[in-house]
């Protein structure tokens, strides 16, 4: 069964324009997966991971299908929402689907991304669906799907030495999911006893606040009190840090992150308070 996720502040669901932009991005990123995987060696390893390019692509094809079925209103249990159960479900699904031809998988990634928009389009974007990470509204599920595709396609692009599909506009469309997911992915051990108020600003996009009280995180649109640390991040760097593809220290050194406030040194350790599934 899935765990339940509670929105830490009122959902800011996409309006007609934002929803259209989200669906366009899902379709475009799916199509870009076809080009990214064209003519590549599926056995190429993903740096820092146990998967090959073909296995990552197979996972994406399966996940896109799962998301499309959820958008259609189907019930699809997939682990219990914990990182360990999701990893086990991933391995089981890969074992059950032996297709490893990158071209075939790229086409399936694109087909299922488009299918998601077709299934979700007629439905109320504010309606609740149950997902591997708990309950969320349908449009946030779309942001989840986009986040998931961008993260794994980034890995594939790095492995192949090809351009990745992440840009500022697409990061902006993932924000509804990234914000509600943050309390769920707090690393209880790393955050134990921690108390601080962070104001996060993503250049050119909406900002928000994350407040830790005795290790528990609450996300809000505005800081509930004077922030201890304000962090200004370039959008792509924010996304890569959030997904564990880049460290805050690396981004700080490259000038992609700036921090100030009463306790600016907290910026370097902030990502370590979370453990992405």
- pTM of the complete model: 0.90
CA dihedral 13→277→215→269, nearest 10 degrees, is -100
166 HSE (CA, 13 A, CB side): 25
pLDDT of residue 81: 63
Q: Is 265 exposed, middle or buried (0-12, 13-18, 19+ CB in 10 A)?
A: exposed
Q: Where are the domains of the chain?
A: 16-181, 184-273
Q: Which residue has the tokens 């509930």?
A: 224
Q: Which fold has domain 184-273?
A: Nonspecific Lipid-transfer Protein; Chain A (3.30.1050)
Q: Do domains 16-181 and 184-273 have the same CATH topology?
A: no
What's the rounded Cα separation, in Å, for the pair 226 and 107? 49
What's the rounded Cα separation, in Å, for the pair 86 and 132? 8
For the chain, residues with pLDDT lower than 50 are 1-14
How many C-beta neighbours within 10 Å does residue 276 have? 13
What's the rounded Cα separation, in Å, for the pair 26 and 110? 9
pLDDT of residue 85: 73
Q: Where does 16-181 sit in CATH, by number? A: 1.20.120.450
How many C-beta neighbours within 10 Å does residue 124 have? 11
pLDDT of residue 83: 67
pLDDT of residue 15: 60
pLDDT of residue 7: 36
How many C-beta neighbours within 10 Å does residue 236 have? 21
pLDDT of residue 84: 72
Cα Rg of the chain, angstroms: 18
pLDDT of residue 132: 83
Q: Is-contact 164 158, C-beta < 8 A?
A: yes
């Amino acid at each position: 069964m899935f765990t339940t996720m509670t929105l830490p502040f009122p959902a800011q669901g996409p309006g007609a324009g934002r929803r259209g932009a989200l669906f366009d991005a899902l379709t475009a990123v799916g199509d870009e997966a076809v080009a990214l995987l064209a003519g590549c060696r599926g056995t190429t390893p993903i740096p820092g991971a146990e998967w090959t390019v073909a296995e990552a692509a197979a996972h994406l094809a399966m996940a896109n299908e799962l998301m499309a079925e959820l958008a259609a209103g189907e019930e699809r249990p997939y682990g219990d929402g914990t990182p360990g159960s999701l990893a086990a479900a991933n391995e089981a699904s890969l074992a059950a689907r032996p297709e490893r031809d990158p071209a075939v998988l790229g086409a399936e990634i694109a087909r299922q991304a488009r299918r998601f928009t077709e299934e979700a389009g007629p439905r109320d974007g504010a309606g609740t669906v149950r997902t591997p990470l708990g309950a969320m509204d349908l449009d946030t599920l779309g942001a989840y799907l986009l986040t998931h595709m961008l993260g794994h396609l980034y890995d594939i692009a790095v492995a192949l030495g090809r351009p990745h599909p992440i840009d500022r506009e697409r990061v902006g469309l993932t924000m509804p999911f990234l914000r509600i997911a943050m309390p769920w992915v707090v690393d209880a051990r790393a955050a134990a006893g921690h108390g601080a108020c962070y104001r996060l600003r993503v250049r050119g996009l909406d900002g928000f606040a994350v407040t830790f009280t005795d290790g528990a995180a609450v996300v809000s649109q505005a800081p509930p009190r004077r922030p201890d640390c304000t962090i200004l991040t370039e959008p792509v760097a924010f996304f890569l840090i959030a997904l564990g593809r880049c460290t805050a220290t690396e981004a700080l050194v490259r000038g992609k992150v700036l921090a100030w406030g009463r306790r600016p040194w907290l910026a370097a350790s902030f990502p370590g308070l979370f453990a992405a599934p």
